[in-house]
């Protein structure tokens, strides 16, 4: 094999490798990959149970994920209308009787620190209630529940947007994470618009 042939062969191998890499689905949280079908996700051992979430197309509650967090309660995977994973919503177990929000905010801050190591930090929306009753320290979780206060941060990667926030059911707060794949969401919105146009 002469020098020229060797160079051409090496170039072909590198081009093929780059094309394969470009075709690989980008990584998503919990050991998943964006824009995979429901069947492909199930091949990883994930158990899917369909749930009604009209705003995001076909969606499933997911268990037995490849990776998970210790206090994770529920994960919802949304595949839109073309069977392509584009949204992952995760909710923790409730922090019972955490009126001051001490425990949930501690966990929220831990997650924010971890996310900042892998993603770019964006806007921080952490606003306590302004009304005197809801602004009392022991009403933090209740104020979140009544939407008198908001507590979340935004992060981003080249492929996705991430929202880390705190929700609450009266005095039982929880953290939530919402990951949205940008290209996948664009495809979903396009398909949604087409479906709505076809219905008219």
Could you tell me which residues come within 8 angstroms of residue 25 by beta carbon, excluding any fewer than 6 positions away? 33, 34, 35, 36
45 lies in which domain range?
29-199
Residue burial 28-63, b: 16+ Cβ < 10 Å; e: rest: bbbebebbbebebbeeeebebeeeeeeebbbbbebe
**pLDDT 10s digits, 126-169:** 999 999 999 999 999 999 999 999 999 999 999 999 999 999 99
In a domain, 187, yes or no: yes
Instruction: Indicate whether 65 belongs to any domain.
Output: yes
Instruction: Evaluate whether residue 1 is within a structural domain.
Output: no
Please say if the pLDDT value at position 54 is more than 90.
Answer: no
Q: Examine the pLDDT at 23 and tell me if it is beyond 80.
A: no
The predicted structure's pLDDT at residue 15: 45
pLDDT attached to residue 193: 85
Would you say residue 19 lies in a domain? no
Name the band, by pLDDT with cuts 50, 70 and 90, for residue 65: very high
Is residue 23 assigned to a domain?
no
In a domain, 111, yes or no: yes
Residue 17 has pLDDT above 70, yes or no: no
In this predicted structure, which of 40-44, 50-54, 143-147, 176-180 has the lowest mean pLDDT? Answer: 50-54
- C-beta of residue 128 within 8 angstroms of C-beta of residue 140: yes
pLDDT tier, 192 (very low <50, low <70, confident <90, very high otherwise): confident
Residue 191: which CATH number? 3.40.1000
Q: In the structure, what pLDDT confidence band is assigned to residue 1 with cuts at 50, 70 and 90? A: low
For residue 10, tell me if it sits in a domain. no
SS3 51: strand
6 inside domain: no
Domain count, the chain: 1
């Amino acid at each position: 094999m002469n020098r020229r042939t060797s160079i051409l062969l090496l170039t072909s191998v590198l081009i093929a490798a780059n094309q394969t890499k470009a075709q690989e689905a980008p990584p998503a949280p919990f050991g998943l990959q964006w824009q995979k079908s429901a069947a492909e996700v199930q091949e990883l051992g994930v158990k899917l149970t369909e749930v009604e979430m009209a705003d995001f197309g076909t969606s499933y509650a997911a268990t037995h994920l490849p990776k998970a967090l210790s206090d994770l309660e529920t994960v919802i995977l949304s595949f839109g209308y073309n069977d392509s994973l584009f949204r992952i919503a995760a909710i923790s177990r409730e922090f019972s009787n955490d009126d001051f929000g001490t425990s949930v905010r501690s966990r929220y801050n831990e997650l924010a620190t971890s996310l900042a190591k892998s993603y770019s930090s964006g806007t921080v929306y952490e606003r306590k209630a302004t009304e005197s009753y809801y602004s009392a320290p022991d009403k933090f979780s209740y104020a979140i529940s009544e939407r008198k206060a908001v507590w979340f941060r935004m992060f981003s990667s080249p492929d996705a947007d991430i929202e880390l926030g705190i929700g609450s059911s009266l005095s039982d707060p929880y953290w939530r994470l919402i990951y949205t794949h940008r290209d996948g969401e664009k495809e979903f919105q396009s398909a949604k618009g087409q479906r709505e146009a076809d219905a008219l």
